[in-house]
Amino acid sequence: MNAHKNARLTFYSRELMVRRIREEGWAVGEAASSAGVSKRTAYKWLARYRDGGAAALHNARPVPHRMRHRLAEAQIAAIEALRRQRLSGPAIARQLALPRSTVGAVLRRLGLGRLKSLEERPPVVRYERKNPGELIHLDTKKLGRIVRIGHRVTGCRKGQSNTRGTGWEALHVAIDDATRLAYTEVLPDEKKETAIAFLFRSCAFFKANGAVPERIMTDNGSAYKSHAFRNALSAAGLRHIRTKPYTPRTNGKAERFIQTSLREWAYAAPCENSHERAKAMIPFIDAYNTSRPHSALAFQTPWQRLNNLLGNDS
């Protein structure tokens, strides 16, 4: 029961007051005075007890017993039917000659307040390759360059216009599907030459750790769709898999790793400049690979999973 701070009666005190009147013969005014309420309030709870017993002494939801202007079920059904034809709230209101606020309230109550609620969510398809290096996910994330601590940290907007237009840099990530072993670099851009150079360095990293790359999965960014990137993959003997357009969940392991990176490293602490932020990445990625338990790996670290799959003792 959510009683306000100045409430005189709780369920126990209401029950006590009613019992004193009905069983102990107290006068209504006397019982009300003892409880610190008016005779009118005492009569109210006494009447509720007579109608519904002790259960009626609990707080009731503040809803009216009757609604003079309640919509008929047929009108509610008509609103739902039109919504399922993907009509907007105002369009439904015009067609049914109803207030827009009423239609909006009904749609929210039906769980159809947003048009996307009409779309069935595709089933979650989870997959995991069995062998290290069988599939490597690549992705990038833009990071705004830092030339000074911003107003979000200091709370001071003075001089902030002087730092506008400082540009972007790019976080490039590569993560192994089977082990979640990750390799990252902060680079100046997302151009094809930069992406190709990162591809070779990341493949060398995985190969050195026993996860020889076989396939590369990327989104449909311009660098990854370029002929130069395709030729680089072909020269390295790697198969290229691109995700379905506008479906980032297909490359979900890289997307999830980027979220973790932003939360636990890139935006975890204020930095004076971009170089300081980039330096903070090194201890993060080392801890991620070697000491941070991963829930999708039964709380093993990527390094432990890699050694288990490779049959190493260490």
From residue 271, give the alpha-carbon distance in Å to each of 147, 183, 215, 286.
Answer: 9, 22, 36, 20
From residue 293, give the alpha-carbon distance in Å to each of 31, 109, 284, 302, 313.
Answer: 63, 41, 13, 8, 19
Which distant-in-sequence residues (6+ apart) come within 8 Å of 271 by Cβ?
146, 149, 277, 280
For residue 270, the model assigns a pLDDT of 85
Per-residue pLDDT of the chain (314 residues; tens, 9 = 90+): 566 666 778 888 999 999 999 999 999 999 999 989 999 999 999 999 998 898 888 887 777 777 677 788 999 999 999 999 999 999 999 999 999 999 999 999 999 998 888 887 777 777 889 999 999 999 999 998 888 776 656 666 666 655 555 789 999 999 999 999 999 999 999 999 999 999 999 999 999 999 999 999 999 999 999 999 999 999 999 999 999 888 878 888 999 999 999 999 998 888 888 899 999 999 999 999 999 999 888 999 999 999 999 887 55
CB 290 within 8 A of CB 303: yes
For residue 282, the model assigns a pLDDT of 94
For residue 119, the model assigns a pLDDT of 82
In which region does residue 240 sit, left (phi positive, over 0), alpha (psi from -120 to 50) or beta (all else)? Answer: beta
Query: Structure pTM?
Result: 0.66
For residue 3, the model assigns a pLDDT of 64
Helix (H) or strand (E) segment spanning residue 222: helix 222-225
For residue 157, the model assigns a pLDDT of 64
Long-range contacts at 249-255 (CB < 8 A, ≥ 24 apart): 250/217, 251/137, 251/139, 251/217, 251/218, 251/219, 253/137, 253/175, 253/177, 253/180, 254/137, 254/138, 254/139, 254/173, 254/175, 254/217, 255/139
Q: Could you tell me the residue ranges of all domains in the chain?
A: 11-57, 85-118, 136-154+164-310
For residue 295, the model assigns a pLDDT of 87
Please check whether the domain covering 136-154+164-310 is classified as CATH 3.60.20.10: no
